[in-house]
Chains A and B, each alone.
Chain A
Amino acid sequence: MRNSSEIIARMTGLLFPFIIMFGFYIILNGHITPGGGFQGGAVLASVFISRYLVYPDEGIRIKSLQSAEKALFFCIVVIPVLFLFANNYKSNELWNQIYLISMNMLIGLKVCSGLTIIFFRFVFYEGGK
């Protein structure tokens, strides 16, 4: 896998935008159709993992992904609390939808960065070679 094959490289490059689009579709429609934050995040993480198949030697900046994940986790804790204290969720339908979509989005991005960190740590830091 040192020199990745050209077929895989081209096909992955062709499929990249569709995978990203599908991931965001699953996340954004999570509250009305099947899917949601976790599934969409896993689809988005598979983008980074297929990138590893194309360029096995290049790493990614794990440090920045880690800080992004921490910030997202902070948002995931804070936003529901604020929403609860705002206390208008019983009446307003629009606010509920905005809340659901934003939470799905945050969870999706957090799952994506978490799975990517796990994968790249495993690939580059664990074990002998």
Chain B
Amino acid sequence: MIEKIFLILMVVLALITLNTVKLRRAVIYLGIFSLVSSFVYLLYGAPDVAIAEAVIGSALSTVLYLVALKKYQVFTIYYTNANYNEIHDGYIIKGRAQILRDVERFFLKREMEPQIIYTTDDCDYVLSAKNFDLLIHQDYDKVKMYGCIEDYHVDAMQDYVAKNPYENLTVEFVRYEAGDQIDA
């Protein structure tokens, strides 16, 4: 009985892994999948294989995949808001600013891995001290986006915004030269 439950769980986890949009979540689901499969090995009387699967499948390969994702595809987006005192957490977690949802969807479509960091730090501080790919600064309905001038993803983003302008938001792009920003 318990075998069948875990076998079905394996199939479900595999399907979830395939259908997840974000790559990083898919890696985590893959780790859970190999943990469950190691338990199934144990139930079928192969403890040797179970140990190897548990260590390699869910520890080593998960960390390796995460490092690889961090190296190549993660696009760091900082989001600062000039009026952060007036925003409560629910607005950020549940509602999401409209612009952020669009930016995230845009980068997901390009098979990137957007990593959005909300911060209450000042815009200028983030600009000078943090290592980012795109900085979004919002002041009520004025949105400024800072990006490196050589980053072609930001180019595409600029085109995208120019083609689909917002009704109530004015979006302005600021491009800085490469090397201006200090690598933290």
Contacts and interface: CB of A to CB of B under 8 A. Distances in A.
Contacts of A34: 47-48, 50-51
Contact of B64 (A43, A122, A129): A122
User: What 6 A-B pairs have minimum CB-CB distances, sorted nearest first?
Assistant: A34-B47, A42-B55, A39-B51, A127-B71, A34-B48, A46-B59
Contact of B60 (A1, A42, A128): A42
Nearest to B51: A39
A35 B53 CA distance: 12
A115 B64 CA distance: 11
Given A34-B51, A35-B47, A45-B60, 13 more contacts: A26-B51, A34-B50, A35-B51, A38-B52, A39-B55, A42-B52, A42-B60, A115-B60, A119-B60, A119-B63, A119-B64, A122-B68, A129-B71
Contact of A1 (B52, B55, B70): B70
A100 to B, nearest CB: 15
A39 B55 CA distance: 8
> Which bracket fits the contact residues of B?
10 to 19
A39 B70 contact: no
> Which bracket fits the contact residues of A?
20 to 34
14 contacts: A2-B131, A36-B48, A39-B55, A42-B55, A42-B56, A43-B51, A45-B60, A49-B60, A52-B63, A53-B63, A119-B60, A119-B64, A126-B71, A128-B72
A46 B71 contact: no
Interface of B: 47-48, 50-52, 55-56, 59-60, 63-64, 67-68, 70-72, 131, 184
A123 interface: yes
A51 B119 CA distance: 28
Interface of A: 1-2, 26, 34-36, 38-39, 42-43, 45-46, 49, 52-53, 115, 119, 122-123, 126-129
